[in-house]
Amino acid sequence: MLEVQDISVGYGAIAALHGVSLRVGAGEIVTLIGGNGAGKTTTLRAVSGLVKPRSGRILFDGRDITGWPAHRLVAAGLAHVPEGRMVFANLTVLENLRMGAYLRRDRAEVNRSLGHVYRVFPRLEERQAQPAGTLSGGEQQMLAIGRALMSKPRFLMLDEPSLGIAPLLVKSIFERIVEINRDDGITILLVEQNANLALRVSGRGYVLETGRITLADTAAALQDNPQVRGAYLGG
Amino acid sequence: MSEFLQQLLNGISMGAIYALIALGYTMVYGVLRFINFAHSDVFMVGSFAAFHVAPRLGSGAVAGGMAILCVAMAASALLGMAIEKLAYKPLRGRSTLTVLITAIGVSLLLQNVGQKVFGAEPKAFPAIFPSRTFHLGTVVVNSTQLVTIATTLLLLAALHVVVHHTRVGIAMRAVSFNATAASLVGINNDRIISFTFALGSALAGAGGVLYALNYPSIDPLMGTLPGLKAFVAAVLGGIGNLAGAALGGLVIGLVETFVSGTRLSTYRDAIAFGILIAILLFRPAGLLGRDRVEKV
């Protein structure tokens, strides 16, 4: 479904990615693990069109999408829940969700998606009239994921969904992520500091170090890999 | 007492015009984070557009007046969109200072082209609405003031509906809060920015017509002073905040009018700028603005 071919990305004179390649097949959950500044977020930003790669190609469903603006990729079925959630704090929860369906014209279909999001995250329905800025971190994460689902994506990228969230909620959010993949058939690319948790729900994973992919394997193999255990899984 | 009521009415009517112009400054700041100094000249073009279509659309009747107002708003909206597309869009991603200096350049360009096209000498603006004077006790109510206040209220109500209850209006608030997140839900930021310019410029065009009704002598440099005062109003209310811009406009209009009625009347223009200095010193976020850390 997604194929990243040898992309390099730089911010000014600083290079963030040096020839990263990875692929995600339809229906998979794939995790990208790596330390701070390894280039995980930059990889996702390149795929969703927020930064333009200096070289390399990105294919989505076999189509070359390199250099497409972000809003056009949403129409193609790609959704990105960015690091730090970026909910519209000045809009209500419901307005945030409706903005998620910005490109969809069929009202009945949009309302069906809204009902679906409320079933996945009942907390959002209770808070629908509240400004999103008044939600807790965990609720904002639910909203960010819900908003992404409202675009009816086929491919979803999640950047650090556990960051700054109470441990109990983290578990629940990861259960929802697995459901979204299994029940809705949405392919997922996950970036996560909590590598233990991420590998447990994923089929495969990539290890990113200073802008390069250093390991690619099944999640089970990565969990057993002594190097990975030492560096990312706490021994 | 009657003098107070008289000045109150004059102040509200003046404040209404400042509010209309201030909204454009604040909306553009909301999506692009810079002050569009050419906005005051869009206001000027609004009154000239009305001046030129007035003979053809029949002045002096309510329907004709409304039609003239609509044409002026449409012309201003088109001008605002054209300015954004030609002058500001190519600078997307550049520093705010670059865009700010460009805005000053566009302002000078419009003023000088205005003098070339419309002529530099002042023109007498026709009474495009029926004009009448009412006496409520000792207070003199001019129908022009009523038209000004009613039109402004109508436009503010319409703006509220657009911003809170339409897809494009909510998208405008989304872009203004976080442009990156907006593009990630599929919003084409360029289109929303263009729409914002159209909306703000239309309001400035309406302001231009209402201003010319109250001060019926128009010239290509007429925008500068009301524009600057409306800018102060936007800062006073909290730049980026729509309700703040309306409130700020009202406050500036009232203060200015009441000062005019005292022995300090020669300082009426200085008052607005005194307020600007005071607000920047003591409450930079404005009356309704919230302190927000600028993101980098």
| A141-152 residue pLDDT tens | 999 999 999 999
User: How far is it, in rounded angstroms, from Cα B142 to Cα B147?
Assistant: 9
| Structural contact between residues A177 and A201, judged by C-beta atoms closer than 8 angstroms | yes
Handedness of CA B89, B94, B96, B97 (dihedral sign): negative
Among candidate residues A76, A16, A67, A33, the one with its CA nearest the CA of residue A211: A16
Q: Is the confidence at residue B295, as pLDDT, over 60?
A: no
Residue A120 has a CB neighbour count (10 Å cut-off) of 17
Contact A48 B167 (CB under 8 A): no
Residues B243-291: tens digit of each pLDDT: 999 999 999 999 999 998 888 888 888 888 999 999 999 988 888 876 5
A-side interface with B, Cβ within 8 Å? 48-50, 69-71, 74-75, 79-80, 82, 86-91, 95, 98-100, 102-103, 147-148, 150-151
Could you give the percent of chain A with pLDDT greater than 90? 87
- Lowest-confidence region among A99-113, A125-139, B54-68, B221-235: B54-68
Please name the residues in contact with B44: beta carbons below 8 A apart, sequence gap of 6 or more.
Answer: B110, B111, B114, B208, B218, B220, B221, B222, B223
b or e along B100-136 (b: 16 or more beta carbons within 10 Å of the residue's beta carbon)?
eebbeebbeebbeebeeebeeeebebbebbeeeeeee
Residues B169-210: tens digit of each pLDDT: 999 999 999 999 999 999 999 999 999 999 999 999 999 999
User: How far is it, in rounded angstroms, from Cα A215 to Cα A203?
Assistant: 14
Q: Give residue A14's pLDDT.
A: 86
User: How far is it, in rounded angstroms, from Cα B17 to Cα B214?
Assistant: 10
CB-nearest to B174 from A91, A148, A150 is A91
Q: Give residue A235's pLDDT.
A: 61
CA distance B174 to chain A (A): 6
Q: Which residues pair with B133 in a beta bridge?
A: B142
Q: Is the confidence at residue B50, as pLDDT, over 50?
A: yes
Q: How does residue B57 score in pLDDT terms, banded at 50, 70 and 90?
A: confident
Q: Give residue B159's pLDDT.
A: 97
Q: Is the confidence at residue A54, as pLDDT, over 90?
A: yes
Q: Give residue A234's pLDDT.
A: 75
Q: Is the confidence at residue A64, as pLDDT, over 70?
A: yes
Contact A91 B170 (CB under 8 A): yes
Residue window 160-189, chain B: list those with CB within 8 Å of chain A: 167, 170-171, 173-174, 176-178, 180-189
Q: Is the confidence at residue B294, as pLDDT, over 50?
A: no
Q: Is the confidence at residue B296, as pLDDT, over 50?
A: no
Q: What is the CATH number of domain A2-232?
A: 3.40.50.300
Please name the residues in contact with B137: beta carbons below 8 A apart, sequence gap of 6 or more.
Answer: B2
Q: Is the confidence at residue B121, as pLDDT, over 70?
A: yes
**Residue-by-residue DSSP string for B28-85:** HHHHHSS--TTHHHHHHHHHHHHHHHHHHH-TTSHHHHHHHHHHHHHHHHHHHHHHII
Please name the residues in contact with B204: beta carbons below 8 A apart, sequence gap of 6 or more.
Answer: B20, B21, B24, B39, B40, B42, B43, B46, B76, B80
Average confidence (pLDDT) over A165-186: 94
Q: How does residue B136 score in pLDDT terms, banded at 50, 70 and 90?
A: confident
Q: How far is CA A7 from the centre of its chain?
A: 19
Q: What count of Cα atoms within 13 Å lies in the side-chain half-sphere of residue A215?
A: 22
Average confidence (pLDDT) over A186-202: 94
Please name the residues in contact with A78: beta carbons below 8 A apart, sequence gap of 6 or more.
Answer: A47, A48, A60, A153, A154, A155, A157
Which residues in chain A are contacts of B173 at CB distance < 8 A?
88, 90-91
| Tokens standing for residue B16 | 């209404």
DSSP state of A92: B
CA distance A101 to chain B (A): 7
Q: Is the confidence at residue B292, as pLDDT, over 60?
A: no
Residues B158-172: tens digit of each pLDDT: 999 999 999 999 999
- Domain residue ranges of chain A, discontinuous segments joined by +: 2-232
Cβ pairs bridging A and B (under 8 Å): 65
CB-nearest to A99 from B174, B180, B189 is B174
Average confidence (pLDDT) over B131-144: 89
Could you give the percent of chain B with pLDDT greater than 70? 97
Q: Give residue B293's pLDDT.
A: 45
The overall average pLDDT reported for chain A is 94
Q: Give residue B84's pLDDT.
A: 97
* Coil, helix or strand at residue A73: helix
Look up residue B1 and give its amino acid.
M
User: How far is it, in rounded angstroms, from Cα A99 to Cα A119?
Assistant: 19
User: How far is it, in rounded angstroms, from Cα B28 to Cα B24?
Assistant: 6
User: How far is it, in rounded angstroms, from Cα A153 to Cα A132?
Assistant: 22
Distances (CA, A) of A177 to A139, A160, A194, A203, B139: 14, 12, 15, 13, 68
